[in-house]
Amino acid sequence: RTMGMSTPRILFKDVIPNLMPFVLVNFANAARYVVFTSVGLAYLGILPTSVPNWGVDLNNAYKQAGALVGTSALYQLIVPMIMIMGIALSL
């Protein structure tokens, strides 16, 4: 203000560029939270199971294929887990 700059110029040149790293980190954390929540709710059967979801895949592997008991259907359990971890780490 003492240099005669307007309020929009101060906001767009000084304030917003310094806030963007915090906004982007919070956005990434919120996106991870949404992925984990949707997978968890689909696994528990709270969300509709008609929509394909990694949580539905994990639930099917656990209940129908017996992936925790035998090794014949273990890929049905491991592949969604790897994809969920990949999304979380990439965000």
Instruction: Give the tens place of pLDDT for each residue, 52-70.
Output: 888 888 888 888 777 777 7
Q: Put residue 82 in one of left, alpha, beta given phi > 0 → left and psi -120 to 50 → alpha.
A: alpha
- Which three-class secondary structure state does DSSP give residue 69? coil
Q: What is the largest CA-CA distance in the chain?
A: 73
Instruction: Give the tens place of pLDDT for each residue, 15-39.
Output: 888 899 999 999 999 999 999 999 9
